[in-house]
A and B are shown apart, each in its own frame.
Chain A
Amino acid sequence: MTVPELKIKDLHVSVEGKSIVKGFDLTIKGGEIHALMGPNGTGKSTVASAIMGHPKYQVTGGSALLEGANLLDMAVDERARAGMFLAMQYPSEVSGVTNAEFLRTAINGRRGEGNEIPLMKFLKTLDKKMDMLEMDQKFAERYVNEGFSGGEKKRNEILQLMMLEPKFAILDEIDSGLDIDALKWVAKGVNSMRSENFGCLIITHYQRLLNYIKPDVVHVMMNGRIVKTGGPELALQLEAEGYDGMKAELGIKDDETVEA
């Protein structure tokens, strides 16, 4: 089996007519973990939402190829079934639908009719993954994200990631609002996914999470595009110097499109 590849090329995205992402390039291969860092409002989450297909985001140019097929031509559910996953910053609550029901429907959506996961196998897997995240078993029967704390919602996103086993995952500020214990569970979950067949993009403001999930590559995004790429040391540099230091180094002014 060949290693999967996600190739984002020259992506441009607008929100309500305002151009946010302006020429975003990134290639991730299976087995790699990339971190995408950058100041607030620079377009990191917009990249994530546009790749997953949130209706509010208009892609105005570029492509996102997952193993050669352009995700941007697909409906949201098709992107997911092609192997994309987005752990969301603000997951929706769905009243009246239990977590277990939701996950089983999602898994069966991927497997297709006639190939549904046997119930016992599903429950066993669910139990195991929930144990790993130290989630109480009763979360399976609670309605999706309803009444969950911020940390519980994030853990629930990681549970879905582990159950659905996508080829690529984008974690959109999964660390925001998490205490140190929750951060460790999230990291444990993501690390358990590491394999040749799984690539991951972690969007974060802080270096903290990267102590627990070691990235292979770190990208810095400003003003709608990646302005610097390096190894894990880049995150440490950012932590020490801040984004302002990096801006000065690269000669970037706020709200200015960087010319290549």
Chain B
Amino acid sequence: MLTQVQSLPFDKEDLTKFAEQRKEPKWFTEKRLEALALAEKLALPEPEKTRITDWNFTNFNYDTTATSVQTLEELPEQLQKLLGKNEKAGNVLVVRNSRPVYCSLSQELRDKGVIFTDLATAIKEHSDLVQKYYFQVTPMNQHKLTALHAALVNGGAFLYVPRNVTVTVPVQSIYYQDAPSSGLVAHTIIAAEENSQVTYVENYLAAPSVGEGTANLLSEVTVGANARVQFGAVDHFTKDIVTYVNRHAKVARDGNLQWALGQMNDGNTLSENATLLEGDGAACDTKAVSIGSGAQKQNFDNYIRHIGKATVSRLLVRGAQKDAANSIFNARTKIERGASQADGEQTQRVLMLSDEARGDANPILLIDEYDVIAGHAASVGRVDPDQLYYLMSRGIPKEKAEKLIVEGFLKPVVDLLPIEGVRVQLAALIEGKVG
């Protein structure tokens, strides 16, 4: 019989050395070691209908390096295109092979007390503040992958918006991997205090030179009372990179969170997106799109938990499946006892573009309160023949017509992304993947 327990390819000594080189505060290194012990004993998560036991979550080079740049013009063109232009530029962090290579934040925002920097810098310069938020939304011991994340974290971002501050220009992080066999273990903290507003967009990209690699991404978002956060993301790792991505938020009284996630990885992906509506009147709107292609396996779990009274959630998930791709979409809306007048609605639609592709949409409503509104819709289907006929009847060839329909189907997330370069990138990724 095969044993489930495999020893990890790194130990306490490796991690201690790694932490020392990085001159981390003691509490952070202790977290690493605590997490290492957990990673050794915790099991992998068991996502429904997706077998991940043979995915590589542990073997990769986590100690990569990169050289800083002085100006954005020195970055690869591919990255420059993603940056906001003119009035939308200025607040950006660029991370290459998990090392920050460029970071800027406008003086105006600094003066208002906004903090935006890479995680390594943040734990040195704002140690107490980071500690207050680090692994507070997501439990480190959720499963082996969260523990592995905490043990090996090698990059990330910290964004702090103080009370009553409105950030009008989007804040952007771009992560780029090109080191062979590398792994990005990026931890993002977004803390929006009471009555603040901010829009954050993150991009993940990789070059083919990585080959087999790993990404273990964890974002924790804290939305304070009456605060508004828009969180946009476009993930695009190459086909031999295994991705675990966990985006987790909690929303306080009357807070509002919007997720716009373009999940365009070419490799195997396990995605957990969770939002806790803790305070009364808290609301969230989750929109996520993805395309499965090749022999890719993906599992998307979108979870919303209503705790406060009169909390509102909207969840829209759309996925297109081509080639021999296999994706599972779970949407879970949980309304806790006491969350009276909660209103949760979820819709998942999966479009199948080939006979070999597999897709599953599982709508789950768990309701422990009487006075609520909840609804779900889930469908897995093919391109509507009437739509196809309509477009073709105007002279558009079948393949092109199908492409238009699929691109249109995934448009709800593209439209939400606040930075034009990122919108264009996602549209181009969709076009390329559908093509």
Contacts and interface: CB of A to CB of B under 8 A. Distances in A.
A85 B396 CA distance: 12
A91 B390 contact: yes
Most buried by B among A80, A88, A96, A164: A96
Contact of A94 (B387, B397, B398, B410): B387
Given A55-B389, A97-B404, A81 B395 contact: yes
B410 A92 contact: no
Contact of A106 (B384, B385, B396): B396
B412 A96 contact: yes
Given A53-B393, A105-B396, 12 more contacts: A77-B392, A77-B397, A88-B393, A92-B387, A93-B387, A94-B387, A95-B411, A96-B409, A103-B394, A105-B400, A105-B404, A106-B394
Contact of A80 (B385, B394, B405): B394
B385 A55 contact: yes
Given A95-B408, A95-B409, A77 B390 contact: no
Contacts of A55: 385, 389
Contacts of B396: 77, 80, 105-106, 109
Contacts of B386: 92
Contacts of A77: 392-393, 395-398, 401
B391 A94 contact: yes
B301 interface: no
Most buried by A among B387, B392, B401, B410: B392
Contact of B394 (A75, A93, A101, A164): A164
Given A92-B386, A94-B408, A96-B410, A76 B393 contact: yes
A160 interface: yes
B290 to A, nearest CB: 15
A8 interface: no
Interface string A64-95: 00000000000111011100011010011111
B40 interface: no
A80 B392 contact: yes
A27 B401 CA distance: 31
Contacts of B390: 88, 91-92, 94
Given A92-B386, A94-B387, A75 B408 contact: no
Given A52-B393, A102-B404, A96 B411 contact: yes
Nearest to A77: B392
Nearest to B387: A92
Contacts of A142: none
Interface string B400-430: 1100110111111000000000000000000
Interface residue SS majority, chain B: helix
Given A77-B398, A94-B404, A109-B396, A102 B391 contact: yes
B36 to A, nearest CB: 46
Nearest to B395: A80
B395 A86 contact: no
Contacts of B384: 92
B389 A94 contact: no
Contacts of A109: 394-397, 400
Most buried by A among B387, B393, B396: B393
A14 to B, nearest CB: 18
Nearest to A146: B408
25 contacts: A53-B392, A53-B393, A55-B389, A75-B398, A76-B393, A77-B395, A85-B393, A85-B394, A86-B393, A91-B390, A92-B384, A92-B387, A93-B387, A94-B408, A95-B409, A95-B411, A96-B408, A102-B391, A102-B394, A105-B400, A105-B404, A106-B391, A106-B394, A109-B396, A164-B395
7 tightest Cβ-Cβ pairs between the two chains A and B:
A96-B408, A96-B411, A80-B395, A106-B394, A92-B390, A76-B392, A97-B408
Interface in A41-72: 52-55
A214 interface: no
Contacts of B409: 95-96
Interface residues of A, number: 30
Contacts of A188: none
Nearest to B407: A96
A152 to B, nearest CB: 16
A21 B171 CA distance: 63
A65 B400 CA distance: 26
Contacts of A129: none
A255 to B, nearest CB: 28
A76 B389 contact: yes
Contacts of B411: 95-97
A76 B392 CA distance: 6
Contacts of A96: 407-412
A192 to B, nearest CB: 19
Nearest to A96: B408
Contacts of A52: 393
A243 interface: no
A110 B410 contact: no
A100 B407 CA distance: 15
Nearest to A90: B386
A143 B391 CA distance: 13
Most buried by A among B386, B389, B401: B389
A219 B393 CA distance: 25
A102 B392 CA distance: 11
A81 B391 CA distance: 12
A68 B394 CA distance: 21
Nearest to B403: A105
B84 to A, nearest CB: 23
A76 B387 CA distance: 12
Contacts of A94: 387, 390-391, 404-405, 408
Contacts of A75: 392, 398
Interface in B323-348: none
Interface string B364-401: 00000000000000000000111101111111111011
Contacts of A54: 389
A97 B409 CA distance: 8
Contacts of A93: 387
Most buried by A among B394, B397, B408: B394
A85 B390 CA distance: 11
B295 to A, nearest CB: 27
Contacts of A110: 395
Contacts of B400: 105, 109
